[in-house]
Chain A
Amino acid sequence: MFSRRLIIRAAQFSTSQSKKTEKLWENPWKHALHQQEQPRTSAKVLEVPIDWSYVERLMPIEIIPDVPKHETYPTPSGWTPPTEAAKTHSYYVRRRRDHMLPLYLERKRDLLNEKTLDFDYVELVVLRNVDGNIFDCENELRQFVEAQLDHPIATHVDELKGRIKIKGAPRKIIEQFLYSKGF
Chain B
Amino acid sequence: MFLSQLMRQSGASASAARNLWRKSENPFISTPQAWLTDLEQVEEKKRGIIDLHPDVFRVAPRLDILHRNLTWQKVYRNVQMTKMLTKAEMPGGGRKPWPQKKTGRAHVGSIRQPEFIHGGFANGVRGPRTWFYMLPDAIRLQGLCVALTLKHAQDDLHIVENMQDLQNGDPKFWQDLCESRNWGYSVLMIDDSDVISGGLAEAQEQLAWLNCMPVYGLNCYSIIKYDTVVLSKNALEKIEQRLLQHLHRAKPLNLKYRYQDYKEKILNESRAEENPNMPPIV
Q: Which residues of A contact B (CB under 8 A)?
A: 60-66, 82, 86-87, 91-92, 94, 97, 131-132, 160-162
Contacts and interface: CB of A to CB of B under 8 A. Distances in A.
B6 A63 contact: yes
A94 B26 contact: yes
B250 A64 contact: yes
B28 interface: yes
A91 to B, nearest CB: 8
A64 B27 contact: no
Contacts of B3: 63
A60 B251 CA distance: 10
A87 B250 contact: no
Contact of B2 (A63, A94, A97): A63
Q: Chain B, interface size: which category? A: 10 to 19
15 contacts: A63-B6, A64-B248, A66-B6, A86-B25, A92-B27, A92-B28, A94-B24, A94-B26, A97-B248, A131-B26, A131-B29, A132-B27, A132-B28, A160-B61, A161-B62
Secondary structure at the B interface, as helix, strand, loop or mixed, is loop
B206 interface: no
Closest 5 CB pairs of A and B: A132-B28, A131-B28, A61-B250, A87-B27, A92-B26
Nearest to B27: A87
Contact of B250 (A62, A91, A94, A161): A62
Contacts of B60: 160-162
Contacts of A86: 25
Nearest to B6: A63
A63 B25 contact: no
B256 interface: no
Contact of B249 (A62, A82, A132): A62
B15 interface: no
Given A63-B249, A131-B28, 20 more contacts: A62-B2, A62-B245, A62-B249, A62-B250, A63-B3, A63-B245, A63-B248, A64-B248, A66-B6, A66-B10, A87-B25, A87-B27, A92-B28, A94-B24, A97-B248, A131-B26, A132-B27, A160-B60, A161-B60, A162-B60
